[in-house]
Structure 1
């Protein structure tokens, strides 16, 4: 497995910086301020900005931290999906932030291996945080060499949302639990001009749903191996899962032109009642308007006959956001410790749940009562089966090609063989 932050990447990016060539990802973000060596200045680099779920809560708790620590100065750098590239460029110049708040996905999977961030297992125990974090979260954030990459913080449930009101108006009285029931419901919904299942077939939401459906006939251990190697043609269960996906697609289960839609398209269709169902992580469920949420239930994705799972499936992950410590951060570790310990306080964690509609990788008894669909997802328990989120196993170089392959899969008329070939092709340079 190779990453964009390998030795060649360090050399080429370093040469560009030495030559005075500005990296496009740095434009307007001010990340080069991350080299502040003052031990009383903490530099944070986070994805929790703008209108991102939990961003307002993050700003509020930072204000509290500043008031409680008047001698400390806190700088915050915000980036969205491009954070990984921005951080890597700053790290090459040794001007990276002290603490990075980002998901374990794509580029970040290899940061610890490549020295872009430091293992944090020692700090976990020194700071007395092991008992605060869910054991499953620690497992997901630990690499194959038993190094804890970052301190887990935000998690997510990823169920299917069902708009009962829209479904009833189309004559669908029960939430579908099988493939046959889903296809029958789709026919009734389309007859009323309503999209059945909306999905961003041209981005990560479609990639996750495709992976979920493929796992109908594949066990968890088989799935982990599958996404590590990209050998989608080796298991009969994979072929059966892809064929189930094709059956659903060709029966009109997915919204029209799904292959070109994005997450924003998906949430708009569901939140306006134009679609009856969506596969949505809890951060999206928190944004469903009240007039839709009051008629919405959450559950698992319907399974075909002969599936290896006993109940409709959902995805869960503890890797949405964590606290990564950079080499710069180790130079002022006492300041970093103050911030991290503050963020794991029970009252701070509870604010992310109640105000930010976030699921947490931290132990808490608080529920997102102000966000009913998020709370419902938190309480699904054993009424659903959980399948594997592929993020930890897909080589970084295959992440974007996998999304391109997903768009191919959602394109009407694409055969199961062609889908499998496209998925395998995504690993060509991995």
Structure 2
């Protein structure tokens, strides 16, 4: 998705241009006509409803909500990666849906600031839902002016999955916990014809893994500064880039990762063509049972001198939230009914037990039918945690960072060129 600066003027300019040129071609642009003025119709815009993890559970929840609220109709609009652009276009026409279910990333970072969505803090408190939300999630969804951008809902753990059977076959007795051990394991795996670490070096999965490895030598504050400003010149950042280049040029990653995507990564791991992947919980839920039963989850191996004590994972509480639009405030009673229902213990537990989703909402339910998701939930203090940079990267830098990631995963590109590519993404 191409990004543009989301000032109020930038939003208007981008949306007007899109409406004038490509609007008829957008499959989701029925959103423009779908935000009905009928006070008895709640319009919800979501990425759930097709093949996205949790879609079946969500659609069943909508059916139950309709049954419990027979006088209230719910219209469900579905988009994929273009949801943010479609919503912005609808907002320009004042035809936006009432509730939007999307993550905090890229374009959406500026929505509350430019009035595309509203601060929901008072609603959260008035409806008595604050105690249902994990404190970390509330902190992540709150902007620098104290506004709560959306009601937190989906979260994710992002550990590293290790296929023990492939490691055993290659003579790797223990899960690697250091860079040297990972390099030795990669050589043994390659000798057996198995790719070591698979990664989508040409999309967001590679971007996240690169960020994770760079943070080997960065504190959280230092990482926040680097990804907010594009300044990768600090000693720790340079050490992290050096560590990444060492791993890459030692053959740790699958062949030509710079051309692979998240789908390629999942296919390689799930078909046992590769032994290791860094995977968020929704991807772990998709690992076939025959592979999952001999897979362990852990952290990314550390280098000497790392600022962390244990191999690291990523965690995020900003995967999906419920945003309220200006139109939604006109139907706030209907919105309240919907959000109270979605926050209900039985609704939340269904996403955990049926879909293997991690939640930013408190629940005693466990993902028992998704063993790798459940194992990731139990990691706790066995691993360290690094910063997921999504909420700090300026929207204009997101797509260029993907390009810089592909450059970085290209074997032979020097550490200096990797740093230059990362910093250029911010310009």
| TM-score (structure 2 length as normaliser) | 0.97
Aligned to 2:137: 137
**Superposition map of 1:247-262 within 5 A:** 247-262=246-261
Which runs of structure 2 are paired with 1:185-334 in the superposition (5 Å)?
185-233=185-233, 235-334=234-333
Query: For the aligned residues, what is the CA RMSD?
Result: 1.4
Which 5+ residue runs of structure 1 have no aligned equivalent?
none
> Are 1:46 and 2:17 counterparts?
no
Instruction: Determine the structure 2 residue equivalent to 1:114.
Output: 114
Residues 198-219 of structure 1: CA distance to partner in whole angstroms, max 9, x if unpaired?
0000000000000000000000
Moved over 2 A (4+): 1-6, 11-17, 24-29
Partner deviation per Cα, 1:269-300 (whole Å, 9 max, x = no partner)? 00000000000000000000000000000000
C-alpha deviations, 1:332-369, integer Å up to 9, x for none?
00000000000000000000000011000001111100
1:383-428 superposed Cα distances (whole Å, 9 cap, x missing partner): 0000000001000000000010000000011000000000000000
**In 2, are the aligned partners of 1:202 and 1:404 still within 8 Å (CA)?**
yes
For the 8 Å contact 2:6–2:110, the answer to whether it is kept is no
The reply to whether residue 27 of structure 1 matches residue 27 of structure 2 is yes
Shift, 1:50, TM fit: 1.2
Q: Distance in 2 between matches of 1:406 and 1:15?
A: 29
Q: CA, structure 1 residues 21+246, in 2 after alignment: closer, same or farther (shift >3 Å)?
A: closer
Question: Contact 1:25–1:82 at 8 Å: present in 2 too?
Answer: no
| Partner Cα separation in structure 2 for residue 48 and residue 57 of structure 1 | 9
Contact map agreement 1:215 1:387 (CA 8 A) in 2 = yes
Residue 368 (structure 1) aligned with residue 367 (structure 2) = yes
Distance verdict in 2 for CA 1:282–1:71, change over 3 Å: same
Q: 1:378 to 1:28 in 2, by over 3 A?
A: closer
Q: How many residues align?
A: 425
Cα distance, 1:26 vs. partner?
A: 2.8
Cα distance in 2 for residues equivalent to 1:415 and 1:11 = 39
Conserved 8 A contact 2:164-2:296? yes
SS at 1:112 equivalent? coil
Alignment deviations for residues 23-70 of structure 1 (CA, whole Å, 9 cap, x no partner): 266335521233311111000000112111101100011110011001
| Counterparts of 1:173 and 1:24, CA distance in 2 | 57
Specify the SS of the correspondent of 1:355: helix
Residues 155 and 358 in structure 1, CA contact (< 8 A), matched pair in contact too? yes
SS at match of 1:196: strand
- Answer yes or no: is 1:399 the counterpart of 2:394: no
CA distance in 1, matches of 2:294, 2:345: 32
Normalization by structure 1: what TM-score? 0.97
Q: Is the 2:32–2:89 contact (alpha carbons within 8 Å) kept by the matching residues of 1?
A: no
Change (3 A) 1:15 1:410: closer
